[in-house]
Structure 1
Amino acid sequence: MKQESSTLSKVNNDSSIVNNEFIEHDFVAQGTAENKLAKHAIQVHKFGGSSLATSECIKRVLEIIRANCQLNDIVVVSANGKTTDSLFAIYSLVERTIAEQEKQLSDEITAAISVLAQSQAQLITELLNANNSKQLLCQLDKDISQLTTWLAADIAQHKNDILAFGEVWSARLFSALLNEQVCPSNFIDARDFLVIDNEQSGLVDNATSAAQLRQRRQFGKLAVITGYISQDSRGTSCTLGRNGSDYSATIIAALVAASNVTLWTDVDGIYSADPRVVPSARKLHRLPNGVAKELGRLGNPVLHAKTLLPLINPLSEHHTHLHVASSFDAQVIGTEIGKFGQIAKQELSVTYLNDLLLAQSVSFTGDCAAKARAEFAPICMDDQQGFMVITQAQQKSLSHWLASHDVEITFKPVAIIATVGHRVAERGDIKARFKRSLKTAKPLQLVGGDNSHSVIAILPEPCSIELLNKVHHEMTKDARHIGLVVAGMGNIGERFLSLLPAQLNNVYALENLHLVGLLSSKKALINNDGIDVNQATSLFAQQAIAYDNDQLISWLTQHPYDELIVVDITPSEDFSLLYERIFALGIHIIGANKWAASSSTQAYNKLVNTADSHNSLWLGNTTVGAGLPINYAIDDLRQSGDSISELSGIFSGTLSWLFETYDGSVKFSTLLLNALAQGITEPDPREDLSGRDVQRKLLILARKAGFELALEDIDCQNLVPEALQRLSLEDFLSRANELDDYFASALSEATSKAACIRYVARFQYNANAITGNNPAGISAKVSLEVLPKNDPFANLIPGDNIFKINSRWYQDNPLIIQGPGAGRDVTAGGLHSDLVKICQQLAHKQNQVKIKGMS
């Protein structure tokens, strides 16, 4: 089959613009005349044993391959499920029988081999067609025969070959499955190219390994390579240690200069603590290389200690990013490890290790300390006080090493708990907080990690789950990161941005907020490492590039923050049509844009339901009344148990100015053209005079008050004569004097009654007015009204808005909110009010950790 798609490529985190290159996925079925490698950087995808444990799991992985791989990528696989554990168990059984002087394989061993063979045969027959399964079953029979022969011979000589069967079977099956269902593929045994010096150090002969891998990769075929296994310079099979397939993947990535390595496993990323025992653990979306390496060294359950070594080369200009993602939930964005800016460097996590030993000796001081450190790579060490912390497995070799120096050593059982983050050992505030959190644990020592990325407490007792949760809470309670994207770089957008630096400095709720995106209708500036708020508009002018909506949604899908807020300051209906897709990503919106909130009833209800189902917040106080808190007031009344029966007022700053100013001393058209010249009206004044803006605002408030109605349910008086409605703007302005007679007549009639004219919005609900013709009991209209001069709506400062609310609590004496209804300062201020409120709500939000496959 052939699958083609174009997506926004991952944002280059060393760049501050959206990467505009497109990736084309091109799978070509067997039998096609010509296979061409896609022209893109190589990516390595590694799948762990749990991801390949059953036929259902393997089918899921096939779909991941379809969606994410191209023909010049590389797939690295672990053994299926617990296959390697089974091989270890069989090997141990044989070792025991040899010790007991038994000459033949016992029934127990034979049965274990049979169960292993049956499980592999079942995968083959469930996944492959008859012809292909027959071929692999024959190969499996030969392997089982070879396994039995080796087990009955000198097993020590063949130990690694025995343990290698799991990866060989897994890679061979997966390659055959790809060939049958997805794309051309070739199976490669890593022992045919990957050369290390020995199993103890695992140092790779890069030149030889890279050359041999180039020979074995086949043009136009997706390479499927075994993890975990390799060979030494003599050609002897070696393994890379338990969980060594991750290390295999990063070694191979370094050999081919891959742009990315993705470790597809049973968790959707790396967390700030082990999520199995710390329910409040939060995903770390981005980790600097050095921090991730330290986490792996200090017991993180996902990262293998050596995984990052091949990717960290300070002398190389090539940088490979590592991703951790879940094959059980491939749509969820995982964790990325690489080179990042300041935001990612603020991440903190807590990890622990039990069953350790504190070793004390004079050989751990002075010049000898460096030799001891190089020989044993301890968990931590203090060469002033002469101690190191090691694993229990290292005790015997350390004792022997010191015996040759003829010095004494003491061992004490200990545990460690550590705070890990970028340069935390150099930060006094972090160390002080860590020390306070350990007060009841009475640590023996507090030691900084060698690379300064950890502060380690040595505990006299095993680290309890209670202590781990307490320390994690204290160290990460303020660590959530919120990304901010501002859409709309016009007059109000620029004012919003100019206020942002002071807000970030002065408002505690915005402490973890980072500006990461700026959008106009045609250009975007996206930077995951943050945009300098003091230079936002100039950086946008210099660096923004063209984008389309699909590219924007792709970036939003992959954003690396705990939460993301989009502030929509555009007047664009097109941008409002993205709201549903944005809400579906769990992203929050602050909207000054009226289109979404006043869309059709079906569309509006769908937006509300989508936001609710994805825990997305939607605030839009500035859609009506600029910065006036009318939306807040309605929300508060409803949430407090009140019920609203009437909403009315003057909702247009433009129409407020026109009718408060119009007294007949100048013609209405002269006043209108003057307002246009001052920027008081829309560029086309008919937008104001049509009443549509007021109509939309009344709809928004009525919906906020809990009523379901549509725009067409609100009668709207258009103040533009029909003859002028369809003219070009130029023609309309030249004939604006045709408005004069109507407004002069309306004003004269009102004046004769000691009254005035105002454009008023009115919504009323009366349960007693429910009839067959009005089943909802609702009346709503926007129109020019004649009002007595003592009416609250009659005496406003020109340009002000006024809102009157009648409710169960405010019946005889209504609630009135009055003030500026337009203007860049008040609107930008209203947006900042929404921003503070949404950040305050998010500060108390708890994301539930979902673990779909982790044992």
Structure 2
Amino acid sequence: MKVLKFGGTSVANARNILLAENIIKKESSQNRIIVVVSALHSVTDSLIKAAEYASLKDENYIPILKDLEEKHLNLVKELIPVLEQSSWLSFVKKHCNDMEDIYNGIFVLGEFTDKIKDRITSYGEFLSSNIIATRLQHEGLDCLWMNSADQIRTDSNFTHAKVDFNITEENIKKFADDHKNQIIVTPGFIAKDQNGNATTLGRGGSDYTAAIIAAAVSADELQIWTDVNGMMTADPRLASNAKSIPEISYHEAMELSHFGAKVLYPPSIQPVMAKNIDLQIKNTFDPDACGTLVSHRLSRPANEKHQIAAGVSNMSHIALLTLEGSGMVGIPGISAKLFQCLSFEKINVILITQGSSEHSITIAVNEKDAFHAENVVNASFKDDIQLQRMAPVKIETGLSIVALVGESMKNRSGISAKMFGCLGNNGINIRAIAQGSSERNISIVISEKDIKKAVNVLHEEFFESEIKQVHLYLCGIGNVGSKLVEQIFEQNEYLRENNLINLRIAGLSNSRKMYFSDQGISESEYSSWNEKGVEASIHGFAEEIISRNLRNSVFIDVTASSSVPEVYEKLLKKSINIVACNKIAASSDFEIYKNLKNTARNHSCRFYFETNVGAGLPVIGTINDLMKSGDKITSIQAVLSGTLNFVFNNYDGSRTFSDVVAQAQKEGFTEPDPRLDLTGTDVARKILILAREAGYPLQFEDIENESFLPEECLQGSVENFYEKLTEYEDHFKNLVNEAQKNGKILKYTAEFKDGKAKVGLQHVAPESDLYHLYGKDNIVIFKTLRYSEQPLVVKGAGAGAEVTASGVFADIIRSV
């Protein structure tokens, strides 16, 4: 014998019922079956809503009842042959009239008790099961309707009645033995107490009814037919990549369902688990799909990597209550007193955690019960609170529980570290932790606003073949930004296949517009993103990134703006990684620089700015590696401006200095205002950054800058600047000629030695490492304790949009 249960969506309307009928026909052709049905979809909610209106003396309950009556009458007309409809239309009408009498009583008395609630909510299953049984009979099937309320005996704890299993099993077994019909149809959810009053088994109780019946008749299998393909590895509304779980143990299913997996009512597992009855969760709308097998006979290999965890479950609208005080330490019975006072008030405790010091106990309850629980506990411990042995209960609301569940987590080291590590790296603060000795469940309490991010982070870490979704927010779509976007689109497939990383451009901003897409901006969409964007501001861009709260987020600054770094600290505090091409932050006041580095470290995120010096060259990374390995930088000699190197490599007096600078600007080697490069300010910032990364707390004012530009060239507009360069052509020729007289060339260099730094033009001899440096190349020469005689040299292209973008790209990959 098999037991089949069909949920509310499976019997929502005539079309869905016909799908269920096909399943029933197929199963009954091979087995004797008992079919348990729920009320039509949303009927129970409507019955409760109408009663709440009536209890408030609000006549809006009347149209709700009329709609319910019409819904059931229409179902009879669609499912039962015309010649047989009359009696069943009368049947529905009679019971709807009975309901109306009860609701009128609620309206008059203004009272809606749990006892009345059980009475009215029992009508949903009663009506649907009778109509479906009649439909099957008229299809020529050997079908009988059984009133489960007559068979299932409970106590009088209305809305959550406790089953008397001895009497119930005896009743069901006798009915099944006495009636040999191939199909028995029965309502779920409903029962009676010893006095014949209607009781119910809790919301989701139809599953429980089916499990009770399956256990009573020792069924070969229990099938739960619903609207999804079994239990999922996570809530698909939160994790788009959630997938069906092919098979799962009773204990895993119980843990997942307890913490929010809605597809199965938690008490349903216990009766079938006690008798080792397999439970299949199947999809009425896709009956050939595998679904989920809940069983004690699992075939999955215990050592499979993806089977470390079975699923991620979550429960929202949670509150934490903390009772603490020195008067609790070493005093027996405190916990018992706490749980007893909550039990008396029917307040369910979802999670418990207590430190070994016994100084505090923290419990999680439904948020709707939080303030009632607070009053109850404070009243129970009133004397201790007045004597200041304990503090009044502290409440935190707006929380959620996330649970990682799996049998294979037992005796596996590193699971908690992996779980907490990936959450911490995404800035998800854990408020409480609970893990039972069974090791099959690690539960955490987090902020409600972090729930989607947390579920996705854990699902990605444990279930998604380790492909990490990375969300990029790019600020600045100029030469470098555009090249970076091109490189991301070109390289993403390679990164997915070889590095298990999937990059999504989730946000773009320039000085005018900003645009967001959580699923990633596609290559085709990129060409017109600014047309769809909204008005941009850097603070608005940052706030939107924070509010979206996506996992593995990276903010990328490829601007030269002084305002963009203002949001760095705010983003780092939300554990959002930052990759900066912009030099402003790292070369600003030393305390600001130090604070940003510390903030990144304290919030488990990355602040990378390799392209601040040398574009794509590994200059800062080299310093970091030397420092980490215990070496010490003693001196740095460098050519750090691709612009100035290009200019002095190409200026020999045969063309005007103004023409050479204009060529450098045209080829993209300079800032829009070339004076930022030619004054040496940019080089000074770079040597400052290198000195700081080498461990020296220098300020920008400490850098000696020997400018070669006449003061008049720095005044006015860019156009005036080029005019002045022409006027001072003799000055620039003299600089070149003086160097050439001595067989040397001009290089704009940066030096750091003995804790001091300077930048300026130098005459460089042919034997110097700086001499043979062409085009836009940069060079950095490190002397350290280990590289004291033969220096460490980093050399290569130090300017250009493409190489700078590739350096930013490398920082992005390092950051995740």
Q: Give the aligned CA root-mean-square deviation in angstroms.
A: 4.8
Letter in 2 for 1:808: L
Cα distance change on mapping 1:418 and 1:585 into 2, 3 Å: closer
Q: 2-side partners of 1:241 and 1:563: how far apart?
A: 51
- Cross-structure match for 1:201: 44
Cα distance change on mapping 1:202 and 1:722 into 2, 3 Å: closer
Kindly indicate whether residue 426 of structure 2 is the aligned counterpart of residue 551 of structure 1. Answer: no
Q: 1-side partners of 2:519 and 2:245: how far apart?
A: 25
Deviations 1:12-66 (A, max 9, x none): xxxxxxxxxxxxxxxxxxxxxxxxxxxxxxxxxxxxxxxxxxxxxxxxxxxxxxx
- Helix, strand or coil: the match of 1:645? strand
- Cross-structure match for 1:584: 573
CA drift at 1:240: 11
Structure 2 counterpart of 1:237, from 112, 118, 143: 112
Q: 2-side partners of 1:804 and 1:241: how far apart?
A: 86
Structure 2 counterpart of 1:784, from 744, 749, 761: 761
Structure 2 counterpart of 1:749, from 738, 743, 765: 738
- Cross-structure match for 2:514: 524
Query: How high is the TM-score relative to the length of structure 2?
Result: 0.51
CA drift at 1:529: 3.4
- Cross-structure match for 1:504: 492
Structure 1 counterpart of 2:482, from 465, 488, 494: 494
- Helix, strand or coil: the match of 1:794? coil
Preserved CA contact (<8 Å) 2:746 2:764: yes
Structure 1 counterpart of 2:813, from 833, 836, 842: 836
- Cross-structure match for 1:704: 693
Cα distance change on mapping 1:717 and 1:507 into 2, 3 Å: same
Q: 1-side partners of 2:223 and 2:283: how far apart?
A: 22
Letter in 2 for 1:515: I
Structure 2 counterpart of 1:459, from 295, 320, 327: 295
Preserved CA contact (<8 Å) 1:495 1:825: yes
CA drift at 1:696: 0.5
CA drift at 1:209: 6.5
Q: 2-side partners of 1:211 and 1:597: how far apart?
A: 66
Q: 1-side partners of 2:486 and 2:116: how far apart?
A: 55
Kindly indicate whether residue 556 of structure 2 is the aligned counterpart of residue 723 of structure 1. Answer: no
Cα distance change on mapping 1:682 and 1:233 into 2, 3 Å: same
CA drift at 1:362: 15
- Helix, strand or coil: the match of 1:565? strand
Q: 1-side partners of 2:112 and 2:174: how far apart?
A: 38
Letter in 1 for 2:478: G
Q: 1-side partners of 2:54 and 2:743: how far apart?
A: 96
CA drift at 1:834: 0.8
Preserved CA contact (<8 Å) 1:656 1:758: yes
Larger RCO (CA within 8 A; separation ≥ 6): 1
Q: 1-side partners of 2:242 and 2:175: how far apart?
A: 30
- Cross-structure match for 2:601: 612
Deviations 1:208-267 (A, max 9, x none): 9789989799xxxxxxxxxxxxx956415145999xxxx9xxxxxxxxxxxxxxxxxxxx
- Helix, strand or coil: the match of 2:722? helix
Cα distance change on mapping 1:591 and 1:432 into 2, 3 Å: farther
Give unmatched runs, 5+ long, in structure 2: 1-38, 61-101, 122-158, 160-168, 191-204, 225-229, 253-272, 299-405, 411-438, 443-457
- Cross-structure match for 1:419: 233
Deviations 1:139-158 (A, max 9, x none): xxxxxxxxxxxxxxxxxxxx
Cα distance change on mapping 1:541 and 1:240 into 2, 3 Å: farther
Preserved CA contact (<8 Å) 2:509 2:536: no
CA drift at 1:678: 3.7
Q: 2-side partners of 1:559 and 1:424: how far apart?
A: 13
Structure 2 counterpart of 1:514, from 495, 498, 504: 504
Cα distance change on mapping 1:454 and 1:807 into 2, 3 Å: farther
- Cross-structure match for 1:803: 780
Q: 2-side partners of 1:702 and 1:487: how far apart?
A: 27
* Map 1:321-720 → 2, pairs under 5 A: 371=185, 375=188, 396=212, 409=219, 419-422=233-236, 447=280, 449-450=282-283, 456-460=292-296, 464=407, 466=410, 468=440, 474-475=462-463, 478=466, 481-508=469-496, 509=499, 511-532=501-522, 534-720=523-709
Letter in 2 for 1:779: K
Preserved CA contact (<8 Å) 2:712 2:724: no
Letter in 2 for 1:691: G
Q: 1-side partners of 2:649 and 2:762: how far apart?
A: 13
Q: 1-side partners of 2:548 and 2:104: how far apart?
A: 44
- Cross-structure match for 1:108: none
- Helix, strand or coil: the match of 1:573? coil
CA drift at 1:758: 0.6
CA drift at 1:542: 2.2
Cα distance change on mapping 1:600 and 1:699 into 2, 3 Å: same
Preserved CA contact (<8 Å) 1:715 1:782: yes
Cα distance change on mapping 1:396 and 1:651 into 2, 3 Å: closer
Preserved CA contact (<8 Å) 2:750 2:758: yes
Q: 2-side partners of 1:204 and 1:624: how far apart?
A: 69
CA drift at 1:206: 6.0
Q: 2-side partners of 1:368 and 1:234: how far apart?
A: 41
Cα distance change on mapping 1:819 and 1:361 into 2, 3 Å: farther
- Helix, strand or coil: the match of 1:496? helix
CA drift at 1:809: 1.6
Cα distance change on mapping 1:198 and 1:650 into 2, 3 Å: closer
Preserved CA contact (<8 Å) 1:424 1:431: no
- Helix, strand or coil: the match of 1:482? strand
Letter in 2 for 1:752: K
- Helix, strand or coil: the match of 1:203? helix
* Map 1:1-40 → 2, pairs under 5 A: none
Q: 1-side partners of 2:683 and 2:174: how far apart?
A: 82
CA drift at 1:803: 1.1
Letter in 2 for 1:506: Y
Q: 2-side partners of 1:212 and 1:718: how far apart?
A: 85
* Map 1:205-284 → 2, pairs under 5 A: 234-235=105-106, 236-239=111-114
Query: How high is the TM-score relative to the length of structure 1?
Result: 0.49
Q: 1-side partners of 2:212 and 2:563: how far apart?
A: 70
Letter in 2 for 1:607: L
Cα distance change on mapping 1:392 and 1:659 into 2, 3 Å: same
Cα distance change on mapping 1:212 and 1:434 into 2, 3 Å: closer
Q: 1-side partners of 2:248 and 2:801: how far apart?
A: 45
* Map 1:23-62 → 2, pairs under 5 A: none
Preserved CA contact (<8 Å) 1:417 1:457: no
- Helix, strand or coil: the match of 1:785? strand
- Helix, strand or coil: the match of 2:491? helix
Q: 2-side partners of 1:653 and 1:806: how far apart?
A: 22
Letter in 2 for 1:203: S
Letter in 2 for 1:522: R
CA drift at 1:641: 1.4
Preserved CA contact (<8 Å) 2:231 2:281: no
* Map 1:302-317 → 2, pairs under 5 A: none
Preserved CA contact (<8 Å) 2:639 2:645: yes
Deviations 1:294-325 (A, max 9, x none): xxxxxxxxxxxx9xxxxxxxxxxxxxxxxxxx
User: Rg larger in 1 or in 2?
Assistant: 2
Letter in 2 for 1:722: E
Letter in 1 for 2:781: K
Q: 2-side partners of 1:559 and 1:822: how far apart?
A: 35
What fraction of aligned residue pairs are identical, expressed as a percent?
Answer: 27
Letter in 1 for 2:472: L
Give unmatched runs, 5+ long, in structure 1: 1-195, 218-230, 248-305, 307-356, 378-388, 403-407, 766-777, 840-855
